[in-house]
Amino acid sequence: MPAPATEQPSARPVPRHVAVIMDGNGRWAQQRSLPRAAGHRAGARTVRSTIEYSVRRGVTALTLFAFSSENWLRPAEEVGLLMQLFLEALDREVAELDANDVRLRFIGDRARLAPALVDRMSAAEERTADHRRLDLVVAVAYGGRWDLTQAAKRLMGMAQAGTLDPQLLDETALAGCLTTAGREQPDLFIRTGGERRISNFLLWDLAYTELWFTDTLWPDFDESIYESALEDFAGRQRRFGRTAAQLQAS
């Protein structure tokens, strides 16, 4: 990944945090009479270009949904291939993320992943821990319901241990136990591949996120489509429950 310069800030608001469901790899391959694996490999290349463009446009946090809790239901061969792709991508890209001041982290149920992959993930997290230009989070074996459930378990453990008064449980305490704790909520959610749903992604965190959908299949998601999403975001009025008049007055 070449060191991309952040483009001149424009007057148009840019989302600080973008969250993406990368859908359509399989159909992209099918359209070309290729095996699904070819679609996932093409999708991995789009991950790289999307990271680069995010940095250039001044996005400071990017969350990518790479493998959901439900993706375990796919044929074992495809699951194995995706895990292999994650390993290869880690080995290939981490040095460059490191060189480009990108912090890489993972969210998801690591207990379900192969120890070799978990070790490489942890090593990549440690290596890039001090970087600040882009906070890149990859969701692997992740589900929004899983995240809320593990947070509830932690809170119950704290209550049982006497370190949390259940009466004092509030949104901040719950958010602090999610795997996304400490990160800003996504400003813009993008889903490629034509479906208009959240599919158990960041259920808590997307509460006030602007949603944007495109029929473009993930391997074809390029700068111009990304730019369309950013342009659309720039025109949205975010009210967070307030009235338009209140916003104008502030």
Report d(CA 201, CA 9) in Å as an integer: 30
- The residue (of 108 and 193) whose beta carbon lies closer to ligand FPP is 193
SS3 state of residue 76: helix
Active site includes 23? yes
- The residue (of 89 and 175) whose beta carbon lies closer to ligand FPP is 89
Selecting among 23, 135, 147, 205, the annotated active-site residue is 23
User: Is residue 71 at the binding interface for ligand FPP, with CB under 6 A as the rule?
Assistant: yes
Active site includes 71? yes
Phi, psi of 164 (to 5 degrees): -140, 125
CB atoms within 10 A of CB 207: 11
State the DSSP string of 44-112: HHHHHHHHHHHHHTT--EEEEEEEEGGGGGS-HHHHHHHHHHHHHHHHHHHHHHHHTTEEEEEES-GGG
- The residue (of 25 and 69) whose beta carbon lies closer to ligand FPP is 25
Please state the closest distance from residue 140 (CB atom) to ligand FPP, in A: 8
One of 1, 16, 27, 58 touching ligand FPP (CB under 6 A): 27
Q: Give the C-alpha distances (Å, rounded to integers) separating 62 from 12, 20, 23, 230.
A: 19, 8, 16, 13
User: Is residue 40 at the binding interface for ligand FPP, with CB under 6 A as the rule?
Assistant: yes
User: Is residue 44 at the binding interface for ligand FPP, with CB under 6 A as the rule?
Assistant: yes
CB atoms within 10 A of CB 67: 21
- The residue (of 81 and 203) whose beta carbon lies closer to ligand FPP is 81
Structure tokens at 67: 């493998």
One of 19, 55, 85, 121 touching ligand FPP (CB under 6 A): 85
User: Is residue 94 at the binding interface for ligand FPP, with CB under 6 A as the rule?
Assistant: no
User: Is residue 193 at the binding interface for ligand FPP, with CB under 6 A as the rule?
Assistant: yes
Selecting among 71, 101, 220, 232, the annotated active-site residue is 71
Report d(CA 155, CA 176) in Å as an integer: 10
Stretch that binds ligand FPP, among 17-25, 51-59, 145-153, 208-216 (CB under 6 A): 17-25
User: Is residue 43 at the binding interface for ligand FPP, with CB under 6 A as the rule?
Assistant: yes
Angle, alpha carbons 77-83-86 (nearest 5°): 140
Structure tokens at 173: 């305490």
Stretch that binds ligand FPP, among 53-61, 81-89, 103-111, 158-166 (CB under 6 A): 81-89
Beta carbons of 142 and 112 less than 8 angstroms apart: no
Interacting residues toward ligand FPP by CB under 6 A: 22-27, 40, 43-44, 47, 64, 66, 71, 82, 85-86, 89, 138, 193, 218
